[in-house]
Amino acid sequence: MEITKQIQALYDTIPRRYNPENVKQIYESVESYEDVLIKIEAINTFYEKNISTYFDIATEAKALIKKSSDNKLSKQQKDNFFDQGSGLLKENMQELLLFYDNGNKK
């Protein structure tokens, strides 16, 4: 599947509300997203030098999602952390689609 389509498909799978199943889903989506980032990184030196920011934001999103699973938090706090993490991930994917430009940058 073309990289742009892979990113869009992952974007479409990102859930917006906290529940244990959605946490599992978003972790799987982040892993797949990181695989796509590795593919982009391998295209040429331009992407290799400029892709690290996207990995960093994916890691930050994972940390927020992890916080949403803390049993000591209220449902509202879990929802807030999950929303922040999923929103950050979606923004990151949208920015990547613009940055990637079908692999044409050098």
Tens digits of residue pLDDT in 84-97? 999 999 999 999 99
Give residue-wise pLDDT tens across range 7-51: 999 999 999 889 999 999 999 999 999 999 999 999 999 999 999
DSSP states of 33-56 as a string? HHHHHHHHHTT-HHHHHH-HHHHH
Report how far residue 69's alpha carbon sits from residue 81's, in angstroms, rounded to the nearest whole number.
9
Of the candidates 37, 38, 33, the one whose C-alpha atom is nearest the C-alpha of residue 10 is 33
